Amino acid sequence: MPVAVNRVAEITPAIDRAASVADLIELRLDYLSEDELATFGGSVDTLLDSSPVPLILTLRPADEGGRSNLDLARRLAFWSNLPKRSDCNFDLELSIAERLAGKLTDFDWARVICSHHDFASVPSDLKEIYRRMEATPAGILKIAVMAKDAIDCLPVFEILNTGNVRNRETIAIAMGEAGIMTRILGPSHGSFLTYGPTDSAKGTAPGQITAEQLRDCYRIDRIDEATEVFGLVGRPVSHSISPQIHNALMREASLNSVYIPFEVGDVDSFFGRMVHACSRETDLNMRGLSVTAPHKVSVMKHLDWIHDSAKGIGAVNTIVIKGRELQGYNTDADGFVAPLRERFGSLKKLRCAIIGAGGAARAALWALGKEGAAATLFVRDQKKAQATADSLGAEIESVSGADFKDFDLVVNATPAGTRGEFEYQSPAKAGQLRNVRLVYDLVYNPLETPLLREARSAGCETLGGLEMLLAQAAVQFNLWTGKKAEPKVARAAATEALTRMHHISTV
């Protein structure tokens, strides 16, 4: 767990707080001012004697993502003059380790982490950097690079494999949202450790997951080589609470499984290089995937078998991996229609307006057609969406300036309102929703969306997307595991996750 404070006097209390959940504490000395850093040496013995867990001392320079503005010469002097203890661990950048190797005999090099950080990308010469690190006497080698897509994690797993083969303790991490899988799965693939702050606001690198999340949600202490991996494929996925729901269900069922968010832009490369048994470059033991926007249609060409309902919908949101075969399903339709049946009973002849033309809209149209409802698709680009409307027997209209007064049900199947860049958008205003009986927003995070506020202002009944999410997740869980999802467990996990996200966004 990284500890980053601004004054030497704050270090001991921060260590005491972190030690309640940390196995190791990384003390980020670069967060101290130069004056504070000058006094640190005198406190080393006291800190080491009083710390309940081992400490790793780090002085990260600005060009490797830290806050220290000391030049190389002054950083070398700091490490050279720091009191050495046999029970202290050090994280030295490669440039420092290369210069100190052979010069300082009072370092216990077995307790030294030689590190390299790239906060911009995955460098093309990563293997050469690792070879330079191997040439130092450091006992542990660390590489942290920035991932912009899930496939950027592949070189990280390759480095871990190299460390395993060569019997060198290695830490390899992909930073950023796209690198989260390496933080969760890294230790089970040979990474010496992973990093987790006390809370997300105190993280010291992009994409860090809190220690509490790593242990409670992802059960990192239980992940091993036999752990079956499931996950969510999409972009963005950071807003999703599916990891909390599915990991809670897996824990309740005592399964050796974990569910991970996969930030995927290049879906073709992801399936070719990370999923398909015949072409994948690393084996993560994947057994199933959820699929969200914008990939519900584009994934279909990568599947070996597709259920008839998913074919009819023209979109897949669930993949079951059986041996070398990828099987596609769509659980969105069942999840979408279940809460509507509770509200309306029969949906026959219900007049429905669907805003959007993506995978979720296709599932809604297909489900409503099966129930005998009449649906109209409202979109920005009618020409582009015409094929979707025709294939599912729907009318099509422009959403620009639309009036929904003649509809019983209005459904938002667009990202508008989703936490993040779209969260202040609404696909319709109160004036457009007058006389509509029910407005159904498939967005679930946040629970209270701009569209739902507009609907209530217009006097409409409202329904949020959480009910659909839970219903379709239960079907997914059964497809993957053959077990029945426990509804109370799933709802409790979802509610807690949304409450936590709302709290973080408002502090």
Shared-domain flag, residues 30 and 146? yes
Q: What is the pLDDT of residue 202?
A: 66
Q: CB burial class (10 A; 0-12, 13-18, 19+) of residue 60? A: buried
Q: Which of 464, 483, 498 lies at the terminal end of a domain, its last residue?
A: 464
CA angle 364, 365, 369 (to 5 degrees): 115
Dihedral sign (CA 268, 271, 274, 278) = negative
Determine the length of the chain: 507
Rounded mean pLDDT for each run of 10 residues along the chain, 507 residues in total: 94 93 94 93 90 95 93 93 86 95 82 96 96 96 98 98 96 97 97 90 80 95 96 93 97 98 98 97 97 94 97 96 97 95 94 95 95 95 91 92 95 93 94 97 94 97 96 97 97 93 56
Separation of alpha carbons 69 and 91, rounded Å: 17
For the chain, the first-to-last Cα distance in angstroms comes to 22
Q: What is the pLDDT of residue 201?
A: 65
Shared-domain flag, residues 426 and 479? no
> Residue 205's domain is classified under what CATH number?
3.20.20.70
Q: What is the pLDDT of residue 239?
A: 86
**Structure tokens given for 95:** 């440039």
Q: Do the bridges between strand 112-118 and strand 140-146 make them parallel or antiparallel, or are there none, so unpaired?
A: parallel
- Beta-bridge partners for 90: 57, 112
Q: Is residue 223 domain-resident? A: no
The answer to whether residues 8 and 43 touch, using CB atoms and an 8 Å cutoff, is: yes
Shared-domain flag, residues 446 and 434? yes
Look at the block and give the residue holding tokens 């509610």: 495
Shared-domain flag, residues 264 and 163? no
- What does the CA dihedral 296, 300, 304, 309 come to, rounded to 10 degrees? 70
Shared-domain flag, residues 253 and 236? yes
Q: What is the pLDDT of residue 122?
A: 97
CA distances from 328 to 296, 315, 470 (A): 10, 9, 19
Shared-domain flag, residues 497 and 439? no
Active site residue 296: yes
Neighbours of 69 (CB within 10 A): 11
Shared-domain flag, residues 248 and 361? no
Shared-domain flag, residues 310 and 350? no
Q: Which of 174, 209, 244 lies at the terminal end of a domain, its last residue?
A: 209
Count of structural domains, the chain: 3
Of 142, 296, 348, 405, which one is the catalytic site residue? 296
Q: What is the pLDDT of residue 82?
A: 87
> Residue 53: phi, psi to the nearest 5?
-130, 160
Q: Is residue 262 domain-resident? A: yes
> Residue 274's domain is classified under what CATH number?
3.40.50.10860
Residue 462 is inside which H or E element, if any? Answer: strand 461-463
Q: Is residue 399 domain-resident? A: yes
Biggest alpha carbon–alpha carbon distance for the chain: 83
Residue 500 is inside which H or E element, if any? Answer: helix 487-506
Q: Is residue 216 domain-resident? A: no
pTM for this entry: 0.91
Cα of 351 vs its chain's centroid, Å: 38
Shared-domain flag, residues 313 and 363? no
**Structure tokens given for 84:** 């050495």
Shared-domain flag, residues 250 and 106? no
> Residue 438: phi, psi to the nearest 5?
-135, 130
Q: What is the pLDDT of residue 501?
A: 78
Shared-domain flag, residues 351 and 439? yes
Residue 439 is inside which H or E element, if any? Answer: strand 438-441
Q: What is the pLDDT of residue 506?
A: 43
Neighbours of 84 (CB within 10 A): 15
- What does the CA dihedral 18, 24, 25, 26 come to, rounded to 10 degrees? -150
Q: Is residue 224 domain-resident? A: no
Shared-domain flag, residues 46 and 150? yes
Half-sphere exposure of residue 7, counting CA atoms within 13 Å on the CB side? 3
Which parts of 51-152 fold into alpha helices (H)?
Answer: 72-81, 94-100, 126-134
**Structure tokens given for 448:** 């209270």
User: Which residue range forms the structural domain that includes residue 279?
Assistant: 230-330+470-506
